[in-house]
């Protein structure tokens, strides 16, 4: 159903739950994988856990996505290994903190914007020359791109910015046959979200997970595999006439 046999997929944030879940699904459809994360040791551990004996076939690359030279090298190594890039999943991300504007640390705001927005920009800049007709770029956004919650200055701003970047890329690359979309998850049952909810719970004086579940019409968090299934759809030709779209995978939270 999903025609990814022999396609090369480059995924950042590859050691995290969403990146790894997407990698497993793409690999199951025959894709070659290049996984990128900040630390090679994290990638090695994640790949061994996810792929077992087949982990040797997964290209693992340590890269700070905010560093242009490192991004350029990661793309070059992927192309050297597999010849081209067919799917780019820009998934690296950090949350930052929650604080009133007068107390929000400027350096935290800058770092969150750099990872999400500069990182996605640099990946597209250097990967697109190695992509062609039928290529797909998926940016990991968030339901946060539809919201404005008190104190979440860096993360929400970065996710709104990613929507703008996605739209510009989609218009620019459509004549070249490259589609660009975003996946916008709601709260996911993983370590990243738990850290967010623990911090939020301390701020609001109640359980952060329950607080989010009350805002989700489906009454629960999503799973990494549920989000990965939407990434798989956007990566494949099953979404061949879809570009410039933010696919909400949020249990109805944005409705």
Across 127-140, average pLDDT: 98
In a domain, 229, yes or no: yes
pLDDT of 135 over the 90 cut: yes
pLDDT of 202 over the 80 cut: no
Across 120-137, average pLDDT: 98
Across 104-114, average pLDDT: 98
Give the model's pLDDT for residue 205. 78
Q: What would the DSSP string read from start to end of 31-68?
A: -EEEEEES-HHHHHHHHHHHHGGGGGGSEEEE--TT-H
249, 184 contact by CB (below 8 A):
yes
In a domain, 205, yes or no: no
pLDDT of 199 over the 90 cut: no
In a domain, 162, yes or no: yes
In a domain, 44, yes or no: yes
So which residues are the catalytic ones?
155
d(CA 122, CA 221): 31
In a domain, 39, yes or no: yes
Of 67-71, 109-113, 155-159, 187-191, least confident by mean pLDDT is: 187-191
**Residue with the larger pLDDT of the pair 21 and 189:** 21
How much of the chain, in percent, has pLDDT values that exceed 70?
100
pLDDT of 115 over the 80 cut: yes
In a domain, 165, yes or no: yes
Phi (first) and psi of residue 187, to 5 degrees: -55, 135
CA-closest candidate to residue 139, choices 28, 245, 5? 245
The domain tally of the chain equals: 1
Across 7-27, average pLDDT: 97
Q: What is the largest CA-CA distance in the chain?
A: 53
Across 56-82, average pLDDT: 97
Helices (H) and strands (E) in the chain, counts: 9, 7
Residue 159 belongs to domain spanning: 8-186+222-240
Which CATH number do you get for residue 15? 3.40.50.720
In a domain, 212, yes or no: no
């Amino acid at each position: 159903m999903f025609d990814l046999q022999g396609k090369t997929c480059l995924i950042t944030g590859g050691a995290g739950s969403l990146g790894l879940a997407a990698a497993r699904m793409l690999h199951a459809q025959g894709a070659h994988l290049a996984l990128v994360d900040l630390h090679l040791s994290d990638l090695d551990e994640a790949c061994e856990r996810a792929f077992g004996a087949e982990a040797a076939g997964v290209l693992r690359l340590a890269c700070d996505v905010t560093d242009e030279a490192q991004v350029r090298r990661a793309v070059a190594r992927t192309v050297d290994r597999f010849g081209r890039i067919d799917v780019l999943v820009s998934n690296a991300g950090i949350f930052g903190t929650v604080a009133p504007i007068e107390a929000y640390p400027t350096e935290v705001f800058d770092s969150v914007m750099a990872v999400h927005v500069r990182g996605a920009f640099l990946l597209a800049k250097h990967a697109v020359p190695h992509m062609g007709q039928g290529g797909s770029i998926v940016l990991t956004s968030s339901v946060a791109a539809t919201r404005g919650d008190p104190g979440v200055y860096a993360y929400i701003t970065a996710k709104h910015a990613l929507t703008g970047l996605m739209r510009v890329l989609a218009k620019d690359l459509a004549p070249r046959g490259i589609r660009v979309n975003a996946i916008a998850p709601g709260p996911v049952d993983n370590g990243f979200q738990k850290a967010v909810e623990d911090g939020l719970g301390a701020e609001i004086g109640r359980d952060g997970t329950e607080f989010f579940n009350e805002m989700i019409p489906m009454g629960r968090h999503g799973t990494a595999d549920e989000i990965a299934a939407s990434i798989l759809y956007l990566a494949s030709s099953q979404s061949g006439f879809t570009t410039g779209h933010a696919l909400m995978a949020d249990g109805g939270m944005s409705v």
